[in-house]
C-alpha cells in the first residue's frame, strides 16, 4: 500500500539555524499539506499546496516558513531561522484531487530546537 | 470558526468489550469527518470518514462511527476491543461547503485496552 514518507525522523538544530524537512507524498496525489503537533497539544494545520502554489495557509505559517516541490516526488518545508517554539512533530500529508480529499499522513519528523 | 472536541483524554476498556471514543464538532454548514489513529512513533493512520449518506460508516480494523447531525457528534465505536487497539485516536473535520481543505483536529483520546 502506498505511503507518505518523511525524512529525517528526528532533526536537532540550534536556534536561528535553517532546517528543511522532506516528504515524499503518495505518487498519484496532487494536494500536499504540512501539519505540526507541539508536544501535548493538538495537531495544527500549517499549509496546503496544489499545482505548485500555496492554496491555503494558517496564521502559524508566517514568513519564516516556506514550502517547495523541487521535483516530481519531493515536498519540502523550510524554516528559515528556527525558534525554540518551533520544536514539534511535523507531519506531511497528501490527498487525491477529487472527492472529499482524504488526507494520508506520513510518520512525522520530530524537530528539536536547542 | 470550526472546532472539534474529544471530551475524554483517556478511555479504558477490557478486551472483548465494546468501546466508544467520543467526538463532537462545530462548523457552519455540513462537515466531512475523519478518524485517525496514532500508534507510538508512527504517523496518523486513516481509519474512516463520513462524507454523506448512511450515518453509520465502517472503516479499518473493525471500527465504525456514527454521524449524528442533531447532536453534532461522530463517535468512534468497535463491538469488541483488542489489546492491539490501544493507541491515540484523533477526530478531525473540514467543512464540506467551503473551499478550505485544512483539517481541524480534536485533542486526541488515548484508548487503553486491558487484557
Interface of A with B (CB under 8 A): 4, 6, 31, 33, 35, 41-45, 48, 55-56, 58, 91, 93, 95, 99-108
pLDDT at A104 over 80: yes
Coil/strand/helix, residue A14: coil
Cβ atoms B14, B38 nearer than 8 A: no
B18 Cα to chain A: minimum distance (Å): 26
Q: Give the pLDDT of residue B41.
A: 75
pLDDT at A33 over 80: yes
What does pLDDT average to over chain A? 93
- Interval A21-35 mean pLDDT: 94
Q: Give the pLDDT of residue B18.
A: 97
Q: pLDDT band at residue A37, thresholds of 50, 70 and 90?
A: very high
Residue B31 contacts A where some CB pair is shorter than 8 Å: no
pLDDT at B88 over 70: yes
Element holding B71 (H helix, E strand): none
A82 Cα to chain B: minimum distance (Å): 23
Q: How far, in whole angstroms, is CA B97 from its chain's centroid?
A: 21
Q: Give the pLDDT of residue B97.
A: 80
Looking at the DSSP bridge assignments, the partners of residue A12 are A112
Torsion A63-A69-A70-A75 (CA) sign: positive
Tell me the per-residue pLDDT of A43-79, one tens digit each, with 9 for 90 and over.
Answer: 999 999 998 999 999 999 999 999 999 887 899 999 9
pLDDT at A17 over 80: yes
pLDDT at B77 over 80: yes
Q: pLDDT band at residue A98, thresholds of 50, 70 and 90?
A: low
Tell me the per-residue pLDDT of B19-74, one tens digit each, with 9 for 90 and over.
Answer: 999 999 999 888 999 999 998 877 899 999 999 889 999 999 999 999 999 999 99
Q: pLDDT band at residue A16, thresholds of 50, 70 and 90?
A: very high
Taking an 8 Å cut-off on Cβ atoms, the answer to whether A95 and B102 are in contact is no
Of B101, B68, B74, nearest to B6 (Cα)?
A: B74
Cell of A94: 497528501
B34, B96, B107 member nearest A102 (Cβ):
B34
- Residue B5: closest C-alpha in chain A: A42
Contacts of B70 (CB under 8 A, 6+ apart): none
Report the alpha-carbon distance of residue B50 to residue B32 in Å, rounded.
6
Amino acid at each position: 500500500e502506498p505511503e507518505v514518507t518523511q525524512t529525517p525522523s528526528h532533526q536537532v538544530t540550534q536556534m536561528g539555524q535553517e532546517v528543511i524537512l522532506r516528504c515524499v507524498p503518495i505518487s498519484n496525489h496532487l494536494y500536499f499539506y504540512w501539519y505540526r503537533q507541539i508536544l501535548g497539544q493538538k495537531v495544527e494545520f500549517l499549509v496546503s499546496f496544489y499545482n505548485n502554489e500555496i492554496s491555503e495557509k494558517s496564521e502559524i505559517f508566517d514568513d519564516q516558513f516556506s514550502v517547495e516541490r523541487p521535483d516530481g516526488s519531493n515536498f519540502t518545508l523550510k524554516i528559515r531561522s528556527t525558534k525554540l517554539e518551533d520544536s514539534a512533530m511535523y507531519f506531511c500529508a497528501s490527498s487525491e484531487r477529487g472527492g472529499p480529499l482524504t488526507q494520508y499522513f506520513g510518520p512525522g519528523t520530530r524537530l528539536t530546537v536547542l | 470558526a470550526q472546532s472539534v472536541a474529544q471530551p475524554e483524554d483517556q478511555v479504558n476498556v477490557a478486551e472483548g468489550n465494546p468501546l466508544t471514543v467520543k467526538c463532537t464538532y462545530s462548523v457552519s454548514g455540513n462537515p466531512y469527518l475523519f478518524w485517525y489513529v496514532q500508534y507510538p512513533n508512527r504517523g496518523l493512520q486513516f481509519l474512516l470518514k463520513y462524507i454523506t449518506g448512511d450515518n453509520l460508516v465502517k472503516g479499518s480494523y473493525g471500527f465504525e462511527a456514527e454521524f449524528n447531525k442533531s447532536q453534532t457528534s461522530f463517535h468512534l465505536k468497535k463491538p469488541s476491543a483488542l489489546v492491539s487497539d490501544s493507541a491515540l485516536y484523533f477526530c478531525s473535520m473540514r467543512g464540506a461547503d467551503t473551499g478550505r481543505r485544512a483539517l481541524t483536529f480534536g485533542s486526541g483520546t488515548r484508548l487503553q485496552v486491558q487484557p
